[in-house]
Structure 1
Amino acid sequence: MEHVTLKALASVSHDELATILSGPPAKAAAWVAAAAHNGIVEAQAVYGQYLLDGHGVERNAGEALTWFRHAARRDHPMAMNMLGRCYEHGWGIAACAPVAVYWYRLAAQAGLDWGMYNYASALALGNGIECDRAQALQWFRRAADLGHVKSINFIGSFYEDGWEVDADTSIAFDYYRRAAQGGDFRGQFNYARLLAERGEIDAALGWLRRVPHTATAAFVAKMQAWLAASPVTAFRALAEDVRAAMNLTQESRA
């Protein structure tokens, strides 16, 4: 890794640093690492993400965890949230849902939309904490007010399923629409489902075709199974297209 001196860090301009960070990943990682080692909390959080993603450096979840912890202990909200994700998913440490919830709660209380979403999800599903859907809905609403599209989608689920509110598919439809338009793949799928229930098959197909572009492989597989079981001919045809794309992806990784 390129050696970046403290003098270089101190003298670099904002525009020069922006150019470095948007340039070759290895060079960006070297500068962020230098800033992290010199105690810059934002850099510590970013370097943790670089290590987790393997951006410009070798992927190392354990070291990423260390840097997230450094920044979280200095009250960096996103680092708190990412530390929670490490504990939830077992990245660099044994998974521990209650500890994940602890960090999500701190991130939420610090005003981070992702922290609110993750804390609310844990409350809604009883993952690492006693299920409390009323409190979960409050946090989802706070995140949604900040424009967090995954939270907007989850609120739609509350209205569709009648959790803590009277079931109302019209309100759910509106929340799913907002989430879909905001780019959330679950929102796109849910919006398409309700469009189909209204008989708007062509509109539903348009949204369903967008889902694989951003969805996880597991979610795409779930959607493909749903499409394949549909009584709608156009949906079953799309299921075949999705399955073929999934097979191509698997072959390219083999």
Structure 2
Amino acid sequence: MNPDIQQVIFGMNAEVLFELGNRYYNGQGVTQDYTKAVECFTEAANQGHVGAQHNLGICNQIGHGVTKNYTKAVEWFTKAATRGNANAQYSLGMCYHNVHVLANTNAAAGIFEQLAAEGHSDSQFWIGRCHYFGEGISSNESKAFKWFSQSADQDSSYAQTMVGTCYRWGYGVAVDHAKAFEWYRKSAEQNNRQGQCCLGDCYQTGRGAAADIDTAVFWYRKAAQHGYESAVANLEQLSRWL
């Protein structure tokens, strides 16, 4: 450990160490320093602070202040998760779902489903996605729509896009282009690039709203500015026609 930071944190209790680690991590009132943040989080985590354990997992997952190490990230997430920390449980689920070397979609789906039932919006989106694509759990259109809807009602722009898509294609619910348009609009207005592209498509095709190429181009450009490739392709296609 850096001897300077060691002198600062010697004898501090876990909560103070956790707060100091957050300050170093975010650069609040001090110069941002991920290494010092990790040292504070480590001391607090070793004292049993679940928030510090979760943050230490994040640092190992991203590689902030330490060499990226997914195995250690999972170890710290698991320690905090077993003590009921919802953020750690969610982070553990995301590791199992998205990190190839740790892939365990069955475990991820189980975590997301438990948290979703407790009202965790992001987990509601992800368990909906698991049902939508059959990842780690049986594909189920009705359940996918149910969970996307619950997450969307909590203002998740990603879930709002998926609710719109379910209405657009009749996935788990009857086709309703007007409702698809409204959910895409909600997502787009939250700056979600997929929602913006889908809203542009509604205006281009006249599904759920009156056809309006200028407005379609407006939303495609918004999405393209965020690097959404489908929107870029749509703009290129329209440029050949206009």
TM-score range (shorter-chain normalised) is 0.7 to 0.9
2:143 and 2:172 in contact (8 A); partners too: no
1:78 and 1:112 in contact (8 A); partners too: no
Q: Structure 1 residues 191, 234: CA separation in 2 closer, same or farther (over 3 Å shift)?
A: farther
Q: CA deviation at 1:152?
A: 1.0
Pick from 79, 83, 86: which aligns with 1:70?
A: 79
Q: CA deviation at 1:18?
A: 5.5
1:108 and 1:119 in contact (8 A); partners too: yes
**Counterpart residue type for residue 239 of structure 2:** T
Matched residues, number: 229
Q: CA deviation at 1:159?
A: 0.5
Aligned to 1:163: 171
Q: CA deviation at 1:104?
A: 1.4
**Counterpart residue type for residue 12 of structure 2:** A
Aligned to 2:214: 202
**Counterpart residue type for residue 106 of structure 2:** P
Aligned to 2:123: 115
Aligned to 1:20: 24
Q: Percent identity?
A: 26
Aligned to 1:89: 98
Unaligned runs of 5+ in 1: 237-254
Q: Please state whether the residue corresponding to 2:174 is helix, strand or coil.
A: coil
Q: Please state whether the residue corresponding to 2:132 is helix, strand or coil.
A: helix
2:128 and 2:148 in contact (8 A); partners too: yes
2:148 and 2:162 in contact (8 A); partners too: yes
Pick from 8, 15, 19: which aligns with 2:12?
A: 8
Unaligned runs of 5+ in 2: none
**Counterpart residue type for residue 69 of structure 1:** T
Give the Cα separation in 2 of the matches to 1:85 and 1:74.
18
1:87 and 1:100 in contact (8 A); partners too: yes
Scaled by the length of structure 2, the TM-score of the pair is 0.82
Aligned pairs (5 A) from 1:201-240: 201-212=213-224, 214=226, 220-228=228-236, 230=237, 232-233=238-239
How large is the RMSD of aligned CA atoms in angstroms? 2.7
Aligned to 2:43: 34
Scaled by the length of structure 1, the TM-score of the pair is 0.78
* Structure 1 stretch displaced more, 15-24 or 44-53: 15-24
Give the Cα separation in 1 of the matches to 2:241 and 2:26.
41
Q: Please state whether the residue corresponding to 2:11 is helix, strand or coil.
A: helix
Give the Cα separation in 2 of the matches to 1:28 and 1:135.
41
Q: CA deviation at 1:34?
A: 2.5
Q: Structure 1 residues 43, 13: CA separation in 2 closer, same or farther (over 3 Å shift)?
A: closer
Q: CA deviation at 1:17?
A: 6.2
Aligned to 1:252: none
Give the Cα separation in 1 of the matches to 2:108 and 2:20.
37
Q: CA deviation at 1:15?
A: 7.8
Q: Please state whether the residue corresponding to 1:7 is helix, strand or coil.
A: coil
Aligned pairs (5 A) from 1:88-167: 88-93=97-102, 95-167=103-175
